[in-house]
Structure 1
Amino acid sequence: MEPLVTVIVTVFKRVEFIREAIESVLAQTFESYEIIVTDDADSEAAKTICESVSRPDRVRYRSNKRRLGVALNLRVAILEARGKYVAILNDDDYWEPNFLFRLVLPLEQDSGRVLAFSDHWIMLQDGKIDMQQTDRNTKIFKRDKLSEGELRNTTDLALNKTIPLVQASVFRKEFLDTDLLVTNVSGAYDFWITCLLAVSGQPFYYVAERLTRYRTHPQMETLRLAADKFEPEVFIYRSLLQANYFPEWQKFIEQQLAYMLYRCGRARLEFNDIEKARQLFKESLRLFLSWKAVLRLSITYLPRPIRLGLSFTQIVD
C-alpha cells in the first residue's frame, strides 16, 4: 500500500541529532508513512546512521552528488514522495509519538483542508524542555490566541509566520507547486511554502497542543552569521508583490519588504560591503520611511576609520 504521509528529513553535514529525529518518527503511533532522508552533503556518516536505526526498512536515504542548496534539496525529495501528505522534520528536531496521528486526522476528515499544524516545545541541546522560551515563542507567533479547529484567515497566519511549517505541520502535497521551490528562497522555504499553500484559499487546521520539540544549539541555522542571510525573505516578499497573491495585504507586504531590505543592508554593513549596504538602505527607504534606515544609510557615507570604530550592535533596532 502507498504511504499516506511522506516524512522528509533534510540533512547538510550536521549529523549529531539525526538518529534522534528519525527515531521520533519511527516511534509514531500513526503507521502509514515513509521517511526520506535527503542529504545535500552526500555524507557517509548520515547514510550509516540511516542504515542503523531501529527500523531501517522504513527509511529511504538519498543524497545529492552535487550540492543543490536547501530549497532544491527539499524539492527533489518532495518529487520522490509517494504520500498524499508531506511533513518536514529538521535533522535536529523531534516529534512527540502522537504528532502524525493528531495532524493527519483533520486533513482526512475534510479534503478541503490543505494544512494542519500544532504548537511546539523549545528544547535545549541536551533535549531538556525550556518552559520559559517555549511560552515566549508561543506568544511571539500568536499561537496563544488560537483555538483548536479550522482556520480560514490563512493569509494572516502565513504572513505573520504563525505556522511552524518545518517541525510542526503536515500539508497536502497536491497544493504545492514544486516548480516554485527555487534556489532563491533558500532557508526561508518554510515561509514560502506556507504562503503558497495560503494562496489556495483553502482552510488550515490548528491542533492546540505542543506536539513537537524545536532544538536550540550553537550550530543551528538561525545563529549563522552571513552577509546574505536575509536575502531569501526579500526575494519572497518581492515575489508575493509581483504575483499579486494577496492584493489586500499589499501595504503590509511592502512594509515587510522594506524591513527585510533594511536587515539585508544592516548585514552587508556589518560585513563591510558598503556599496551593497547603501543600495539596500535606499531601496528600503523608497518603500517605507524609517529613521533606522536613514541612520544606517548615513553611516555608509562616513570615513572608513570612523565607520569601523562604531559598534553597530549598540544601535537600537
Structure 2
Amino acid sequence: MHADVNSESPRVSVVMPVFNAAEWLRETCSGILSQTMADFELVAVDDASSDKSYEILESAARDDSRIRLMRSPQKGIVAALNYGIAESRGRYVARMDADDIMPTRRLELQADFLDRHAHIALVTGKIVYLGDAALNAGYARYVDWLNTFQTSNDFADRRFIESPVAHPSVMLRREVLRADPYRHGDFPEDYDLWLRLLQAGLSFSTVAEPVLHWRDHGARASRTDARYDIEKFYIHKSGFLAEWLRQRGLNKVVVWSGGRRTRRRIDALRAHAITIDQFIDVHPRRVGQVIQGVQVVSPESFFAGPKKFVVVYVSSRGAREAIVTSLNENGYTEGSNFICAS
C-alpha cells in the first residue's frame, strides 16, 4: 500500500474519467502511479463502463491508497469531469485519459512550473503521438503543431485555429476551475473551456519535456462523438472570435480567405455581427470579383492601402505560415493587427 501522500490535501489531483478502457487501463495506471512526484491522488471516475474497467481500478485501488475510485452520478464525459473535479482535493488539477500514457516526470515538471510561475493558469508540454502517422496524418500534424508552442502568446494568438492544448496533457490551478467548469452542449467540452479561460485573460504555458503519450485509436471520443465533428469546432469558436474582436473595438475586418469552403465558414462569424470589409486572395482569377457582396483584392493591393485588421482564414498550415510571414514583413503583428483562424 502506497502512503507517501498527504491524504487530506495532495499537491496534485489527477482527474481521469473512465469509459470502457480495460484494454489500456493497466498501462495507463502504471504510468500514473510511477510518477517521480508521489504527492498526488488519482481520482478515477467510472462513466458507466460495461467492460472490466471498474474491476481493474478496484484492484489497483486496493494496492495504492492514492487511487480514489468513484462512479459518476450521471452519464457522459462532462458529468464525469465535473464530478471528478468537485471530489478532488489537490492544489493543482491534472487531466488524464484512461487510454493514454503519462511520462514518469510529468506531475513533477508541471507542478514545479506552476509553483515558479504564479501568473500561469494552465501548463501543458510536449506530446508524443502514439498512432499510425501515415494512416492518420491529420492527427499527427495536429500533434506536430501543438509541439511548436513555446510562449503564452502562442496559445493566445493561435486559439482560433484549433484547440491549443491536448486535453489529457494539462495541469491547472484549482482556483480557475469554478463549479462545474465543463459545459454541456453541442460542442467539444475541452475547447470550450480553453476558449473561456483565454477570453477571461488567463495565461497558458508549456514545459519543454514530454507530458503525454497520446494514443490514437478508432474508439477515441474525438472520432466517435458528434460533438467533436470539425464543423462544430468552426461554429463554436466563431462566437469567441467575434467577442475577441469586439473587445478590441473591431466589428469590421478584412479576411484573408482560402477559397469557397473557407468563405462558407466565415458565415458563422457574420452571424455574430462581424462585417467583412474585403477578401484577400492570391488567386488571379478571383481578384477583382465581388463575392457575397465583398470585394476581392490581391495582397499587393491590400498592402498598398491603409492598414486594416486582418483575420487569416486559411486552413492549410504551409499556406498559413507563408501568409503570416507576408503580414509580418509588411508591418503587421499577430494579435495586434491580425489573428489566424480556421
Into which bin does the TM-score normalised by the smaller protein fall? 0.5 to 0.7
Normalization by structure 1: what TM-score?
A: 0.67
Counterpart of 1:85? 92
Counterpart of 1:167? 168
The structure in which a higher percent of residues are helix is 1
Counterpart of 2:191? 191
Q: Name the CA distance, whole Å, in 1 between partners of 2:189 and 2:85.
A: 13
Counterpart of 1:116? 123
Counterpart of 2:338? none
SS at match of 1:29: coil
- Any gaps of 5 or more consecutive residues in structure 2? 1-5, 280-285, 292-342
* Paired letter, 2:47: D
Selected match of 2:37 from 22, 30, 35: 30
Structure 2 counterparts to residues 210-289 of structure 1, below 5 A? 210-224=210-224, 226=226, 229-230=229-230, 233=233, 236-237=236-237, 240=240, 244=243, 247=246, 248=248, 284=268
Given that 1:96 and 1:212 are in contact with CA atoms closer than 8 Å, whether structure 2 keeps it comes out as: yes
SS at match of 1:57: coil
Q: Name the CA distance, whole Å, in 2 between partners of 1:241 and 1:52.
A: 46
1:32: how far off? 1.4
Q: What is the count of residue pairs matched by the alignment?
A: 263
1:23: how far off? 1.4
Counterpart of 1:56? 64
Could you say what the CA RMSD is over the residues aligned between the two structures, in angstroms?
4.1
Computing the radius of gyration over CA atoms, which structure comes out larger, 1 or 2? 2
Given that 1:120 and 1:213 are in contact with CA atoms closer than 8 Å, whether structure 2 keeps it comes out as: yes
Q: Name the CA distance, whole Å, in 1 between partners of 2:236 and 2:193.
A: 10
Which digits, 9 at most, give the CA deviation of each residue in 1:53-99, with x for residues without a partner? 284311111113542x2112211111111012111111111111001
Given that 2:182 and 2:190 are in contact with CA atoms closer than 8 Å, whether structure 1 keeps it comes out as: no
Normalization by structure 2: what TM-score?
A: 0.63
Which digits, 9 at most, give the CA deviation of each residue in 1:258-293, with x for residues without a partner? 979968xxxxxxxxxxxxxxxxx9x6596589x9xx
* Paired letter, 2:93: V
Counterpart of 2:202? 202
Q: Name the CA distance, whole Å, in 1 between partners of 2:139 and 2:52.
A: 36
The structure in which a higher percent of residues are strand is 2
CA pair 23-181 structure 1, distance change in 2 beyond 3 A = same
CA pair 203-229 structure 1, distance change in 2 beyond 3 A = closer
Which digits, 9 at most, give the CA deviation of each residue in 1:223-266, with x for residues without a partner? 32759845753663365368x3564498699x9xx979968xxx
Structure 2 counterparts to residues 37-186 of structure 1, below 5 A? 37-41=44-48, 43=50, 45-53=52-60, 55-67=63-75, 69-124=76-131, 137=140, 142-147=145-150, 151-161=152-162, 163-184=164-185
